[in-house]
Amino acid sequence: MKTISPQGLYLIYFGRITSGDNMRSPLRRMTVLILLIIAFLLSYSPVSHAQVGDISGIKVSLVFNNVPLRDALLGIAEQTGVSIIFSDDLVKDKTVGAEFREAGLEFVLRRLLRSNGLYFTVSTNSQVIIHQQPYPGLESTIITGRVVNRNTGEPLELVNVYIANTFLGAATDKDGLYSITNIPEGNHTLVVSMVGYETEEKKIRYTFPTYERIDFAVTEKVDVQDEVVVTATSPQNWKKYFADFERAFIGESRNAKKTEILNPEVLEFDYNEEYDILTAKANEALVIENESLGYRLYYTLKEFVMTDRYLAYKGYPKFMNLIPDNLTDAVEWRENRDKTYKGSMRHFLRILIHGDVNSTDFDVREVKIEKETDSLYTFRHRRYYNYIKSGGRIKIVREVRKWGRINISVIPGEIDSEWTLKFKNYLKVIYKYRTNSSVIGLWGDSALLHEKGYLYEPYDLLVTGKWAESRISDLLPFEYDPEKGR
């Protein structure tokens, strides 16, 4: 066993001893292995940011030209003073070639190790532990980080950090730290929201359980209270615009009747009379209570645009379960969730992945649409409107093929839970147990789906018909499982 001590820190390297070594004995090797495991267990505990060492501020400048990985790691340890623990078997016959100029240590290690099929963990005392599996024993991804004021650098407390469309989230502590656990594989949006600050979001993707630190610097909103406002919405017009907004945003389904925006005063509207366009924005997250499905949503509204024919809105909801007053409420919520799911686009997409296409609850036709009324044809360059409102002037020219003869491709993705959807023209989908139909079309060449039928990017599909009427009051969280009813 060889020990190097740069700047008072220890790097332990288990390798061959060239003279007089007795490492080849099974007992000695077992002893070394036990010591390594104990060191790992004592140092590794990625439960929250406070328990994980911080190497994010360390910079490295090194050039590796087909250098053995072992030598590269030793060089990094010598330059940075960071302890690196690894076994000889992991780095044997592995080489690296790369150049780094004032690069972050985490970036350098990821690049050097991932190219060789290796991973690393940062322990509580900032030791770097190299291993073959991404976080041994870790069943799901953990994200930690800090949120600070961009201008002052001061940590911010009680900032909401959450994974959009899920129950997952946390509030920062007095040091601006947060930790979110049990993050599933796939694509997600990490959102940072706080009253008085601009919303920040970051697209994240995980193909295996890992630990990642993600910090945010957020910007205070400009105080415009003292500025002269040339045009302002009158109370009477605001009520009218809010009624139009609520009808379009919340929807008009049976769930909408028991869904309420609890803080409508945070909404601001702008109406362009010349083009008949209503836009809306919210100064803070909308709090939406859905007493039909048993959810409370905190919805960060990014955009809302509505005309007499088209509707587009984008935002990031955070789900919370309501607490039922009695057993009757709990049973009713479960039944309503099941009714909402059945016949929905999510139900259909899930069947495409898991079901028998020739014996399903849906009747499907491939159809063509007149170019003059083809929203994809007219607005493709804008990639903007993803809903055609009920009563829109979309016109089906003819049916091309029926279900069973339609060329619909559902291709396995990079991870087991992911699928890619492809089809030509448009699909007219009829749910057999209700007298309604919908039409969907692809914006691009494909759409990425989760095995639960969850569409990662809503703008990947244009939707018209019954499914276009499903709005916020019919929204189910990412975690919803139709077999469990929750």
Answer with the residue of higher pLDDT: 177 or 398: 177
The residue type found at 259 is T
Same structural domain for residues 209 and 260?
no
Last residue of one domain, picked from the residues 286, 321, 356: 321
Same structural domain for residues 255 and 194?
no
**DSSP for 444-476, written as a single string:** SS-EEEETTS-BS-GGGEEEEEGGGG--GGG--
Same structural domain for residues 283 and 385?
no
| pLDDT tens per residue, range 298-320 | 999 999 998 887 788 889 999 99
Same structural domain for residues 304 and 356?
no
On whether residue 328 sits in a domain, the answer given is no
Positive or negative: CA dihedral 220, 225, 230, 235? positive
On whether residue 339 sits in a domain, the answer given is no
Same structural domain for residues 101 and 149?
no
What are the tokens at 107?
A: 């970036």
Q: Which of 365-399 are b and which e, b meaning 16 or more Cβ less than 10 Å from the residue's Cβ?
A: bbbebeeeebbeeebeeeeebbbbbeebebeeeee
Same structural domain for residues 415 and 446?
yes
How many Å apart are CA 290 and CA 376, to the nearest integer?
Answer: 33
Same structural domain for residues 246 and 264?
yes
On whether residue 290 sits in a domain, the answer given is yes
On whether residue 171 sits in a domain, the answer given is yes
What are the tokens at 322?
A: 């309501």
| 180 confidence band (pLDDT: 50, 70, 90) | very high
Last residue of one domain, picked from the residues 275, 305, 321: 321
Same structural domain for residues 13 and 123?
yes
Same structural domain for residues 41 and 7?
yes
On whether residue 340 sits in a domain, the answer given is no
Last residue of one domain, picked from the residues 218, 248, 269: 218
The angle at the Cα of 168, spanning 258 to 481, to the nearest 5 degrees, equals 65
How many Å apart are CA 297 and CA 469, to the nearest integer?
Answer: 19
Tell me the sheet residues that pair with 268: 281
What are the tokens at 56?
A: 């994010």
| pLDDT tens per residue, range 380-428 | 334 334 444 433 334 444 445 454 567 888 899 888 899 999 988 889 8
What's the longest Cα–Cα distance across the chain? 92
On whether residue 449 sits in a domain, the answer given is yes
What is the mean predicted confidence (pLDDT) over 34-52? 41
Same structural domain for residues 289 and 394?
no
Answer with the residue of higher pLDDT: 49 or 93: 93
Tokens 């009253």 -> residue:
195
Q: Which of 84-122 are b and which e, b meaning 16 or more Cβ less than 10 Å from the residue's Cβ?
A: bbbbeebbeebbbeeebeebebbebbeebbeeeebbbbb
Residue 394 domain boundaries: 345-469
CATH number where 191 lies: 2.60.40.1120
Burial-class residue 67 by CB neighbours within 10 Å (0-12, 13-18, 19+): middle
How many Å apart are CA 452 and CA 194, to the nearest integer?
Answer: 30
Task: Report which DSSP code applies to 353.
Answer: H
What is the mean predicted confidence (pLDDT) over 193-204? 95
Weakest mean pLDDT among 35-44, 132-141, 155-164, 222-231: 35-44
| 136 confidence band (pLDDT: 50, 70, 90) | low
Same structural domain for residues 28 and 53?
yes
Q: Which of 51-60, 214-223, 260-269 has the highest mean pLDDT?
A: 260-269
On whether residue 286 sits in a domain, the answer given is yes
On whether residue 168 sits in a domain, the answer given is yes
What is the mean predicted confidence (pLDDT) over 470-482? 94
CATH number where 89 lies: 3.55.50.30
CB 292, CB 317: distance < 8 Å: no
Instruction: Please state the domain count of the chain.
Output: 4
Same structural domain for residues 368 and 455?
yes
How many Å apart are CA 136 and CA 209, to the nearest integer?
Answer: 9
